[in-house]
Amino acid sequence: MEKKETLKITGMSCAACAARIEKRLIKLEGVKSATVNFAIEKATVEYDDKAVSFKIIDDAIKKLGYAAERIEEVSRDREKEQREKEIKQLKIKLIISAILSFPLVMAMILPLVKIDLAFLHNEYFQLILATPVQFIIGFQFYKNAFHALRAKSANMDVLVAMGTTAAYFFSIYNAFFVPHEQGMMMKELYFEAGTVIITLILLGKYLEAVAKGKTSEAIKKLMGLQAKTARVIRNGREEDIPIEEVKAGDVVVVRPGEKIPVDGIITEGTSSIDESMLTGESLPVEKRTGDFVIGATINKFGTFKFMTTKVGKETVLSQIIKMVEDAQGSKAPIQKIADRVSGIFVPAVMAIAAVTFLIWTFIVGDFSSGILSAVAVLVIACPCALGLATPTAIMVGTGKGAENGILIKGGEHLEMAYKINAVVLDKTGTITKGQPEVTDVLSLGQMHENEIMRLAAIAEKSSEHPLGVAIYEKGKGEYGNIPDPDKFEAIPGRGVMAVVDGKEIYIGTRKLMLDRNVALGKTEEAVSKLEDEGKTAMLMAVDNKIEGIIAVADTIKESSKEAIEGLKKMGIEVYMITGDNKRTAAAIGKQVGITNILAEVLPENKAEEVEKLKKQGKFVAMVGDGINDAPALATANIGMAIGTGTDVAIEAADITLMRGDLISIPAAIQLSRRTMRKIKQNLFWAFIYNIIGIPFAALGLLNPMIAGGAMAFSSVSVVTNSLSLKRFKPANLHR
């Protein structure tokens, strides 16, 4: 049986560590895929539990020198504790390392300003200060380097351990085995190089750990929304119980100003609900008996009771948290480039450092410069920034999307969305509200309009199509209880067939009538007039004779026109796809400013139309809300589901728009473009830093201490640049 596990990984120091774990896991028999994210220290492993056990996976990670834990076994509080503990330990190490390094730095700086404190240059004094920094505080680098080399690979820790050790033992050699030269004030000691490098790397790691904590603030915010208790009715009495004890089927009471604890359906009362935490929509939503309410949203006014339908991990909020976590843990395609580079980078750097040492020592004849230049190469080339460039931006970007009601399933979708140059919009429920109403009933035969409406309501009672539902609701409102038809059949894309009171009734398009050999007579003029008004005109035939026309109109969502204008301004082509006839579709298109109209498209052919656009070289986003949109959503380069739509559509989509309108589409594309810009900036900085820094170090133009500082600064700057995404405000969401 195929299983998917998310693991918390501890002990990673750079992207090369993540690449090594990933490589090892993929080699295990039975493991289908493995993704390790250095930024959030998590691994996602898909495997066949008949071929490989979790213990084997766990042992493989431990053999590499890392610790792994199932994410379910790590409570959120414990994860927070671990992170805080790690930051605290780094802080203590950093302070001790800085205190011990300070006199060594002063020994180097003070002579430059003609101040000479002899004890600072004493080799025993410097040795006493440098040794604990090198081997106690720096022990983690040796430990991680050992595990890396044992696994026949190399990472940042190998570079740091080699570089600082070389500087340390070269200083000991000069201090105790090289005679003091006449005329020289002091011996050439480089203890400060190793200690300062370790101190600066610890500073970088400390700042990085603090910054990385901020990248997951979106998750923390979402989790903070959850109610802690619920007021349930048990044994006829109201009881306040912990949220964890609420069961499906419980009746919960919610008073004004309180958070709705879990998901459910209102059974008694009405209210206005603030759903802004999920949708980004500031206006409260009116709710009445039978309406669905979402956990963590806020009850503004009325008191109501609701029956719980989803609790625990099944609630909408829990699903959103999981979706955001999965997205933050996933890899964008562009990251794979960085991963491949990181995999070969460290061995390449070690080779460059060795060549640098050999040239300086044997060609130039300067052993001291050879050591220092090789150390500088090893230190400046640490690939931390490269490993953080993409995942930190993805984490902040997906979190920012969630804050604005844009749920992105994976990093790859956030990355790819910036390429969108064509958007295909489903009409019903997407451009329109999806709640059509009957506007006209016309009699074309012997039958009275009331009788046409009654028969149509019975015929459409079992229909799930919005137009059919509108006819049924109209009949129910006029005639009360509507009986079931004797027979019912839905004809996809055409209409319905039903038997009522012994009469065979067809309601639907002209094509349906032609298919059933029903003579259309003089219907064309009446139908055309209604369609020119943007109404959907349905013909009704009784016993193979046209008896009437029922017109239904669906109102346009308030923001549809604005969103479509926004997309056009961004240089994106907008298409509308619908099963409506061309004339009706054109009328709707005119109202919202769409000229590219794909009309009379059957549900099963929507995916084909999307495929045609892709073959024209367009990068297509499909936006829909219904079950019949799912194939097209899956076919498109990016599928976007309206959050108020069906679960099937949401499942098939790559991005879910919780607001239920189109204004989030340009916002999602803006967010993708901004995130990609940050990723490219980060990667450019990480690459250019190494491209410039390594030659400088190799030529002896870069002090090892400066190299250590630059390396630390590089990692922190990448994370900080990603965090600047938190200031992003999609223009179309904040009117």
Rounded Cα distance, 479 and 403, in Å:
46
Catalytic residue among 157, 263, 426, 625: 426
Residue 111 CA to residue 470 CA, distance in Å, equals 89
| Lookup result for tokens 């920012």 | 400
Instruction: Return the residue matching tokens 């028969």.
Output: 455
Q: What are the distances in angstroms from CA 261 to CA 235, 250, 258, 644, 689?
A: 20, 12, 9, 20, 50
Q: How many other C-beta atoms lie within 10 A of the C-beta of residue 403?
A: 18
Residue 442: phi and psi, rounded to 5, are -115, 135
Tokens of 410: 């994976």
d(CA 387, CA 368): 32
What distance in Å separates the CA atoms of residue 430 and residue 665, rounded to the nearest whole number?
11
DSSP code for 179: P
Q: What is the DSSP letter of 244?
A: G
Residue 379: its H or E element:
helix 367-380
> What are residue 401's DSSP bridge partners?
none
In which order are the strands placed within the sheet that holds 237-242?
237-242, 229-234, 251-254, 304-310, 263-268, 292-293
Cα-flanking dihedrals φ and ψ of residue 678, to 5°?
-65, -40
Helices (H), 248-315: 276-279
Smallest CA-to-CA distance from 564 within 582, 536, 591, 587 is with 591
Beta carbons of 381 and 374 less than 8 angstroms apart: no
**Residue 443, both tokens:** 């009699």
Told to judge if 484 belongs to the known catalytic residues of this protein, a careful annotator would answer no
Tokens of 188: 């050439």
Tokens found for residue 728: 């992003």
Place of tokens 């026309």: 549
Asked if 156 contacts 38 with a C-beta cutoff of 8 angstroms, the reply is no
Contact 126, 107 (CB under 8 A): yes
Which residues make beta-bridge pairs with 311?
Answer: none
Which structure tokens are listed for 17? 């560590």
φ, ψ (nearest 5 deg) of residue 64: -80, -5
How many Cβ atoms are within 10 Å of 160's Cβ, its own excluded? 28
Closest CA to 255 of 242, 279, 273, 243: 273
Nearest to 711 by CA among 334, 101, 207, 154: 207
CB atoms within 10 A of CB 134: 26
Residues with Cβ within 8 Å of residue 139, at least 6 apart in sequence: none
Q: For residues 356 and 370, is the Cβ–Cβ distance under 8 A?
A: yes
> How many whole angstroms separate alpha carbon 501 and alpha carbon 486?
8
What's the first-to-final CA gap in the chain, in angstroms? 50
According to DSSP, the residues that pair with 234 across neighbouring strands are 237
Residues taking part in catalysis: 426
